[in-house]
């Protein structure tokens, strides 16, 4: 498994680049760039969400629903790659986009197969590599122009990815994988998510709508975090903790995606008002 620390070290670099950029004026295509950052962030999130759902189906936890969610997400991810396809022609992004798309095609094929130990291990490795490349794609898109909202769009989508990764790792441990790598990544992801959610919640750029969405994410995080903290006490007979993680992570995915889109909308409205 690719260590979460690799991605967590890369994330602050992207934030630092965005924060040190001069924002004298908004470019004409700022809203489009913000939408594209959100799309790349959604690819990053779905890499972990789909891996989570695959683990969930394999362990028989609401397996039918998990398989339906996987089937529904496949064309959505295809559509995100279609929306970002113009970046495949940009010299500085060609390799990153091509690698991301190749990883997705492999992951897509693995998701179509019945879960087994070897296939699940490979799927998790591919998901982690796609997470890293999609994150790099988001960073490169953010570097295309001075889009002040890009930092918040990227942060909200990165938190969304962390929530899905954390749920996947939890379910792996719940199913019996108590390896040191999994437990370490769980703790790192939990701390990173809690810190990032606080940063997002206190951002001065928040509108009433985005703040409401973040509040909903906070409420779901309480259930999620409690289940993670009680991992060793989980009741295997009723699967309550695992169900809380599965359910809460899906709700967090919805509200944080709405948060990213709200930042894009707020930016677009501000641009039109400022003209």
- The single residue listed with the structure tokens 């060793």 is 232
Spell out the residues 6+ positions from residue 62 whose beta carbon is closer than 8 angstroms to its own: 56, 243, 246
Q: What is the pLDDT of residue 14?
A: 46
Question: Widest CA span of the chain, in angstroms?
Answer: 60
Q: What is the pLDDT of residue 25?
A: 36
Q: What is the pLDDT of residue 6?
A: 47
Instruction: Using alpha carbons, select from 126, 114, 131 the residue that is nearest to residue 42.
Output: 131
Instruction: Quote the CA–CA distance of 62 and 13 in Å, as a whole number.
Output: 38
Instruction: Using alpha carbons, select from 257, 246, 261, 253 the residue that is nearest to residue 61.
Output: 246
Give 16's pLDDT tier (boundaries 50, 70, 90).
Answer: very low
Give 233's pLDDT tier (boundaries 50, 70, 90).
Answer: low
Instruction: Using alpha carbons, select from 171, 230, 228 the residue that is nearest to residue 194.
Output: 228
Q: What is the pLDDT of residue 27?
A: 40
pLDDT at 17 over 50: no
String of DSSP letters for 239-272 = THHHHHHHHHHHHHHHHHHHHHHHHHHHHHHHHH
Give 147's pLDDT tier (boundaries 50, 70, 90).
Answer: confident
Q: What is the pLDDT of residue 268?
A: 84
Instruction: Quote the CA–CA distance of 126 and 116 in Å, as a whole number.
Output: 15
Q: What is the pLDDT of residue 220?
A: 92
Give 249's pLDDT tier (boundaries 50, 70, 90).
Answer: very high
The 3-state secondary structure of 66-88, one letter per residue: HHHHHHHHHHHHHHHHHHCHHHH
Q: What is the pLDDT of residue 18?
A: 40
Local structure of 95: helix, strand or coil: helix
pLDDT in tens, 67-123: 999 999 999 999 999 999 999 999 999 999 999 999 999 999 999 998 788 889 999
Mean pLDDT of the chain: 87
pLDDT at 15 over 50: no
DSSP 114: P
Please state the pTM of the whole predicted model: 0.86
Instruction: Quote the CA–CA distance of 2 and 47 in Å, as a whole number.
Output: 13
194: tokens are 């809690």
Range in 76-80, 161-165, 191-195, 266-270 with the lowest mean pLDDT: 266-270
pLDDT at 274 over 60: no
pLDDT at 273 over 90: no
180: tokens are 């040191």
Is the separation of the CB atoms in 143 and 28 below 8 Å? Answer: no
Distances (CA, A) of 110 to 56, 80, 104, 190: 15, 19, 10, 27
């Amino acid at each position: 498994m690719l260590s979460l620390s690799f991605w967590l070290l890369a994330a602050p670099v992207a934030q630092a680049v965005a924060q040190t950029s001069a924002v004298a004026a908004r470019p004409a295509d700022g809203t489009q760039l913000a939408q594209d950052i959100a799309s790349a962030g959604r690819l990053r999130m779905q890499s972990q969400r789909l891996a989570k759902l695959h683990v969930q189906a394999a362990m028989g936890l609401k397996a039918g629903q998990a398989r339906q969610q996987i089937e529904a997400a496949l064309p959505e991810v295809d559509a995100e790659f279609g929306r970002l396809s113009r970046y495949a022609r940009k010299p500085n992004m060609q390799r990153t986009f091509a690698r991301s798309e190749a990883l997705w095609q492999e992951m897509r094929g693995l998701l179509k197969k019945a879960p087994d130990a070897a296939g699940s291990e490979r799927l998790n490795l591919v998901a982690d590599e796609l997470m890293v490349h999609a994150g790099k794609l988001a960073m490169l898109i953010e570097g295309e122009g001075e889009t002040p909202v890009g930092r918040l769009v990227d942060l909200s989508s990165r938190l969304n990815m962390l929530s899905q990764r954390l749920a996947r790792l939890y379910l792996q441990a719940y199913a019996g994988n108590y390896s040191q790598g999994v437990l370490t990544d769980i703790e790192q992801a939990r701390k990173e998510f809690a810190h990032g959610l606080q940063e997002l919640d206190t951002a001065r750029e928040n509108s009433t709508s985005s703040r409401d969405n973040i509040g909903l994410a906070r409420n779901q995080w309480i259930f999620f975090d409690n289940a993670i903290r009680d991992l060793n006490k989980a009741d295997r007979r009723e699967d309550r903790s695992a169900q809380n993680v599965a359910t809460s992570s899906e709700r967090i995915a919805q509200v944080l995606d709405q948060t990213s889109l709200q930042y894009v909308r707020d930016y677009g409205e501000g641009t039109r008002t400022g003209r």
